[in-house]
Structure 1
Amino acid sequence: MIRPAVEADESDIRTCAESAYTRYIEAIGKRPAPMDADFAAQIEAGEVHVSAADDGAFQGFIVFFPENGRMFLENVAVMPSAAGKGVGKSLIGFCEDEARRLGLAAVELYTNEKMIENLSIYPRLGYVETGRRTENGFNRVFFEKTLEQP
């Protein structure tokens, strides 16, 4: 089940971000940007959705919003206990469906070049690398997926 995040979800979201991104600190040389996001503001803005198991257990979250005629997928993270179960893929699919619902032509995102797993996951989901550049001290790899409208 995927639903909009509420204020009470912030602690689970922060715990999930810490769990998902801590392993990259050493490779990147600092905390990945998603670990320090203002989740309260993003929840209030309606940009965060959470995935819960049938029993209500928190599984992961995604942050996205429309920007310049496209959906920008800012963050997706899954609890280690839910990893490998399709939760991340479902969250990304949800983002893509919301973009289609809004009539947006594409989803854009970036990941850190040190997050090697992501560099192979996104192409398998239909995303194409569109560039690489350094922003805010992070070496980022940019992806885009053009969406077919129903």
Structure 2
Amino acid sequence: MLATLRRANPADADTIAVLVAEACSPYIPRIGRKPGPMLDDYGQVVRDELVFVALQGERIVGVLVLRHEGRELLLVNVAVLPACKGQGIGRLLMDACEAQARTAGCEAIRLYTHERMTENIAIYQKLGYRETHRATQDGFARVFMRKLLG
């Protein structure tokens, strides 16, 4: 089933939190603690950030959290339900991120991920993101990446 996108609303917050927990919990053993997105208050996130959900029918199967920072768009979080991986939902969300950045006149998209989430780093590289640096932030060993928009 093809997924569609819409802006998240406050009623989605609990479902988004469950989705993020399902998507991120496999990384806990690898990084030794809950990944940063699992620590967020999604009621607050939906109020404060630009949040989109991917739907299959009425079911939320993916989430995209964005923040405008000057001339750049920060991709704060992208997550897909594990049961729905491989269906193009992640790509739909990443394409929506880029479209949002272009519509807003941004010159680049930035993101970060944990250095042990190597498969995510590889995906972002395939999508044109380049590593800018590595640093520890909020106790997490992060890889920072950026994609220039032409």
Q: Taking structure 1 as the reference length, what is the TM-score of the superposition?
A: 0.94
Q: Secondary structure at the match of 1:43?
A: helix
Q: How many residues align?
A: 147
Do the aligned partners of 2:14 and 2:43 also contact (CA within 8 Å) in 1?
no
* Percent of residue pairs identical: 39
Unaligned runs of 5+ in 1: none
- Cα RMSD after superposing both structures: 1.0
Unaligned runs of 5+ in 2: none
Residues in 2 aligned to 1:41 and 1:4: alpha-carbon distance in whole angstroms: 15
The one-letter amino acid of 1:119's match is I
Q: Which residue of 1 aligns with 2:16?
A: 13
Q: Which residue of 2 aligns with 1:92?
A: 94
Matches within 5 A, 1:48-67: 48-53=51-56, 55-67=57-69
Residues in 2 aligned to 1:38 and 1:106: alpha-carbon distance in whole angstroms: 27
Matches within 5 A, 1:58-137: 58-137=60-139
The one-letter amino acid of 2:13's match is E
1:32 maps to which of 31, 35, 59: 35
Residues in 2 aligned to 1:22 and 1:118: alpha-carbon distance in whole angstroms: 15
Shift of 1:107: 0.4
The one-letter amino acid of 2:12's match is D
Q: Taking structure 2 as the reference length, what is the TM-score of the superposition?
A: 0.94
Once superposed, which parts of structure 1, at least 4 consecutive aligned residues long, lie more than 2 Å away?
A: none
Do the aligned partners of 2:66 and 2:75 also contact (CA within 8 Å) in 1?
yes
